[in-house]
Amino acid sequence: KNITVLVSGSGTNLQRILDSIESGEIQNAQVSLVIADRECYGLERAKKHHIKNILIPRGKNFSSQLNEVISENTDLIVLAGFLSILKPEFCENWKGKIINIHPALLPKFGGKGMWGMNVHRAVIEAKEKESGATVHFVTSGIDEGDIILQKSFDVTENDTPETLAEKVHHIEYEIFPKAINQFFGN
């Protein structure tokens, strides 16, 4: 199975996926393409692993350019810390084959503006008792697609947006490979 991963940032989730494939935790799959919408360390990780990688600077024609480089034999598109919003036509075209990881317990703390530290600040401000991460299908509604896997942890009084970010990352490393296996029926 061929996976295309889209990144905008440090790409630790991409790294986790690559490591899971290497260790056999994710089976019968390979990351055959990594696409970034900006210069980022995620792209470097792809280069280090000799994986085909493409930079498409974000802008008006991003989604159509994306469609041109993603080959028809792609089985799964994984958004791993990808920060551009994909056009509805693109989401429709790849419906059921695009998944995203979100650093909170959707449907709470999702939607426009809810990314990165904004999410963790909002969770602290709302005095939530728990937070977590969610892997879900991507549809044209931001963070609205069906949930594939979710895991929570308790938020304590001492937690800050920074500590939450770290805890959420660890949950992500746990559930992302599982969700990918689940997707492939492994």
- Catalytic residue positions? 102
In sequence order, what are the residues at sequence separation of 6 or more whose Cβ sits closer than 8 angstroms to the Cβ of residue 111?
142, 143, 144
In sequence order, what are the residues at sequence separation of 6 or more whose Cβ sits closer than 8 angstroms to the Cβ of residue 54?
33, 34, 35, 36, 69
Cis omega (within 30 of 0) for bond into 161: no
Nearer to ligand GRF, 23 or 185 (CB): 23
Q: How far is the CB of 119 from ligand GRF (least distance, A)?
A: 8
Nearer to ligand GRF, 61 or 113 (CB): 113
- Give the residue ranges of DSSP H helices in the chain: 12-23, 41-48, 62-69, 88-93, 117-125, 161-183
Binding site for ligand GRF (CB under 6 A): 9-13, 42, 80-81, 101-103, 168-169, 172
Q: How far is the CB of 72 from ligand GRF (least distance, A)?
A: 27
Q: How far is the CB of 170 from ligand GRF (least distance, A)?
A: 10
Nearer to ligand GRF, 61 or 117 (CB): 117
In sequence order, what are the residues at sequence separation of 6 or more whose Cβ sits closer than 8 angstroms to the Cβ of residue 168?
103, 104, 120, 131, 132, 133
